[in-house]
Structures are given as structure tokens and as C-alpha cells.
Amino acid sequence: MQFIDLHKQQERIRTGVHRRIQTVMDHGKYIMGPEVQELEKTLAEFVGIKHCVGCSSGTDALLMTLMAWEVGPGDAVFTTPFTFISTAEVIQLLGATPVFVDIDEKTFNIDPVKLEKVVKNTIDAGELNHKAVITVDLFGLPADYPSIETIAKKYNLLVLEDAAQSFGASIGMRKTGSFGDAAATSFFPAKPLGCYGDGGAIFTDNDDLAEKLHSIRIHGKGSHKYDNIRVGINGRLDTLQAAILLEKFSIFPEEVDLRNNVAGLYNEKLHNKVQSPFVPDGYTSVWAIYSILTDSEKHRTEIQERLKGKNIPTAIYYPLPLHLQTAFMGLGFQEGDFPISEDISQRIFSLPMHPYLDKADIKTITELIF
């Protein structure tokens, strides 16, 4: 059994992917070819937002947005310590200061009540300029945007949604990618909508931001390629990856439903055994990762070993919160600073999750969990 089985998906779309790749090879526009724009239009429509800007990865999607907002030294960017390194890495890379806020113990997403406290404390301390918040839709579940958007308005903060794991999820009628001032997603192969390499995209309704992003992704270009009006990066999405994504997108909405069926079956079978994921009323998850909570680190190790014995892979997202990572030692955080994140990181682990897990697979897996 595989943790994420991309082969089963490939069996369904192989012919179409070949056709799409062939088309790119025929027209030969490997950089910024027509497929990039076609994909941007398709995804913007799906999300229900004005602009989609394809780019080189989810990390660069976050980075480019912060660059466009001119985030830099002296700026505080609030975010969660319970996420993948990219979310905070880009803040530090620009010389700004990541200011961590602990998570909600049920959703594992940034806690809005704590966010407001930390923002107030930062303003009172008067050392940093409170600039933005990067929320993360962890494991595919949107963060609490109704609360976060209210706080952001009150304190004049920009909101960047890290939707790397949540493309296709929603709160009510609003889809991920449409929250905050801009959203970043990733097409890394293991994400819910993945390509066959690296890729990402930024979503926004803001025309001015979209224009800046178009410039930043091509070395800060102005009216043409050799007119450079700002410092940018090589942040383009490959035409070939866009072509592959267009084919994959044709079955994506159906795959989101399949993922939800798998999660539903897991939830049912794991009821009363371990703590299965919490999805607030009105929210949907896209189940990038299906994570469960045991009552102790020891119990987690026991279950993981039992599954491993039957060749069932598991993973831990994330074993060490970011404030305790060596890369962020310079920020001066220590153990005990974010107790919820620290506690969860010791008890959480993830089961195989993809649209093509069947009832028998789920039965086998869940019978080994006790």
C-alpha cells in the first residue's frame, strides 16, 4: 500500500496527459506557453476570483506575494508554528520577523483569539511594524477566516492564505484561494491538485497586486523582458506542468468527492478509537492529509509500528513545531512557548490518503488501530 497512490490516478488520465504533452512539444512554447494562461483562467473560475498567477512552487507563491507587499526588515508577519517550513521560511528570507501564534487544539489551525492577543502585544511593544498574517489551511481544512478577516480589518493587517494543502476546500459558498487579500497554493505532486514536478499559483481579486506578481515572476519586468522595474525572481510555471495540471483538473472535482468518501469511512471506523479530524459546521476539507491524534507518544509509536509490520506507511506532520527548528533558533523561542503545537506534534500521525483507497484498504488499516 502507498501513502499517496499517484499511479491509480495516472491510469485514468494517462492518454490525456500524453496528448497534452505532445501538444506542448508541437508548439514548442516551453516557457509561458498558452497552457499557462488556460490553466490560470480555469483555476480562477473554479475558485471564483479575478486573478490566478501561476508560478514555480507553493513556496515561491508565498514569497512573491510578500515581495509584492514589500515585506522586509522591521515587519512582523504572524503565522502558525505548526506547518511546513515554507510558511515561515519566506518571512525570514525577506528579512522580516516571523511572529508565531499557537494553534486551536481541535482544528490545528491558527487560533484567532491568540492571534489578536499577539498582534496587540506586538503593537504595544512598538518594535515591529505589524504587517501581515499568513494563515495555513492545515491538512486541507480552511482556517477560521470569518474571525481572522475581522481581526485583520481591525488592526490593518494583510492576510495571505497558505492554501498549499487546501485547494478545493470551502467555507460555505467560498472556496479556498478566495480568502484574505491573496492566497498561495502548491502543485507539488503529493498535494490534492499536483503536477509532475514543482508548481504553484497565487489567487487575488486585487488588480494592482496581480500586475506586480506578473512582473515579479519574470525578474521584475516592466513593459518588456529587458525593462526591469523592480527586483524579481525566476518564478514561472512551466508550460508542461500547466498542461499536465489541465488534464488532472478534468477529474479534480470528482477526486475531491472521493477524498471526502475516504475520510468519511475512516471517521466511521475510527470512532471511539482515536481522535479523528474535526471539521467545523459549514466547512469542507479536501483531506490533503488525514491525521489522527493518539493519547500519548508511546501509543502513536505502537500503532505506527503495527501498521508498518503490515506494510502500511504512515507519516508524522509535523514532528517538530517551527519555533523549535534549528533554522529559527535566532528568534529566541523555547520549549513551552506554544504548548498546543508542542503537545499535538507528539501525538499526531497520518494515515494513507488518496482518492483511490477502497473500503477493504480502510478496513485493513483501521483494524490495526487500537
Ligand X SMILES: *Cc1c(COP(=O)(O)O)cnc(C)c1O
Residue 4 CB, nearest approach to ligand X (Å): 13
Q: Smaller CB distance to ligand X: residue 179 or 303?
A: 179
| Chain mean position to CA 55 | 14
CA dist., res. 325 & res. 26, Å (int): 47
CA dist., res. 348 & res. 341, Å (int): 10
Contact 220, 68 (CB under 8 A): no
Residue with smallest beta-carbon separation from ligand X: 58
Q: Smaller CB distance to ligand X: residue 58 or 168?
A: 58
Residue 339 CB, nearest approach to ligand X (Å): 21
Q: Smaller CB distance to ligand X: residue 236 or 265?
A: 236
Q: Smaller CB distance to ligand X: residue 65 or 87?
A: 87
- What residue ranges bind ligand X (CB under 6 A)? 57-59, 83-84, 86-87, 136, 162, 164-165, 186, 188, 198, 200
Residue 363 CB, nearest approach to ligand X (Å): 29
CA dist., res. 109 & res. 288, Å (int): 14
Of 8, 46, 37, nearest in space to 361 by CA: 8
Kindly state the helix (H) or strand (E) to which residue 276 belongs, with its residue range.
Answer: none
Q: Smaller CB distance to ligand X: residue 185 or 294?
A: 185
Residue 318 makes CB contacts below 8 A (sequence gap 6+) with: 82, 83, 84, 345
Q: Compute the 3-state secondary structure of the chain and give helix, strand, coil in percent, each to the nearest 5.
A: 45, 15, 40
Residue 291 CB, nearest approach to ligand X (Å): 13
Residue 90 CB, nearest approach to ligand X (Å): 9
